[in-house]
Structure 1
Amino acid sequence: MTAPADTADRGVLTISDSTVERIAAHAVTEVDGVGGAASRVLGVAVGGEDLDNSAKVTAKVAGGTATLDVRISVSYPMSVARATGNARRHLMRRIEEFTGLTVSQVDITVTALHTATAETRRVQ
């Protein structure tokens, strides 16, 4: 039986920005009352904000730390402050659980509020 390799000889695990983005986009769907945001092109929303869509997340990983920029929608009449606080805490915990990275900052932009009933449009 061979001895385990010295820690200096084992290599390094690198977690990419895009991996953290995918984990965070999924993790935020676990928060009640929080949903996705429309994609944007040149600052203009393309498509609609929808609670069933995924959030838009940008992550930056440096060493053992990550920062997140998250775009979400919130169910009305839920408190935006409560929803974003819950999302921020949940993201920090889940990213650390899955990656071992410490999340130093989570910036959240709420792009829309959704009512419980869907808006019906009619053409007359």
Structure 2
Amino acid sequence: MTEPVGPADRGATVVADRVVAKIAAQAAREAVGTLPEDGRAPHASVTVRQGAARVRVSLDLPYPTPIGDRCAAVRQRVAERVRTLAGMTVPEVSVLVERLHSPYTRGTVGRRTR
């Protein structure tokens, strides 16, 4: 019978940056809820150092919407999911709103119509 291997001798699990970015993007989608009809899905980029993930999320939002509240919800959900699924601390989640989409201006952005 072999002796059990101690925790220090088992090795380490490393989660790739691109996996953490996918987790973050999915979490942002969950927090945003329904995407604008012509909006793009959230995109995330991640920098991981010493078990800590710094996340940047880019997304589109419908207009009108409480932008600050929506961004706070995204930050909270992303930090929670990355912490839970990847086992990393998340000291920073930056949210960049790329575009606001209004059903009243669809197809007329940049032009005036009568």
TM-score by length of 2: 0.81
Which aligned pairs between 1:49-68 and structure 2 lie closer than 5 A?
Answer: 50=39, 53-68=40-55
Is the 1:21–1:59 Cα contact (8 Å) retained in structure 2? yes
User: Which residue does the alignment assign to 2:8?
Assistant: 8
Query: Structure 1 length as normaliser, TM-score?
Result: 0.75
Query: Does the CA-based 8 Å contact 2:41-2:60 persist in structure 1?
Result: no
1:78 is matched with which residue: 53, 65, 78?
Answer: 65
Q: Using a 3 Å threshold, how does the CA distance of structure 1 residues 24 and 35 change in structure 2: closer, same or farther?
A: farther
2:100 to 88, 113, 122: 113
CA distance in 2, matches of 1:94, 1:14: 17
Deviation at 1:26, TM superposition (A): 1.1
* Unmatched tracts of structure 2, length 5 or more: 109-114
Take 2:35 and 2:43, find their aligned partners in 1: how far apart are those partners?
A: 10
Could you say if the C-alpha distance between residues 116 and 2 of structure 1 is closer, same or farther in structure 2, counting changes exceeding 3 Å? farther
Flag as ranges the 4+ runs of structure 1 deviating above 4 A.
33-36
Name the CA distance, whole Å, in 1 between partners of 2:78 and 2:103: 24
Q: 1:37-52 to 2 correspondence within 5 Å?
A: 50=39
The alpha carbon displacement at 1:20 in A equals 0.4
Q: Identity of aligned pairs, percent?
A: 28
Query: CA-atom RMSD, angstroms?
Result: 2.2
Q: What do residues 79-118 of structure 1 show as CA deviations (whole Å, max 9, x unaligned)? A: 1111101100010001111111111101111111122467
- Larger strand share, 1 or 2: 1
**Shift, 1:15, TM fit:** 1.0
Distance 1:101 1:34, change over 3 A: farther
Q: Secondary structure at the match of 1:93?
A: helix
Distance 1:23 1:117 in 2: 33
CA distance in 2, matches of 1:111, 1:91: 18
CA distance in 1, matches of 2:50, 2:34: 29
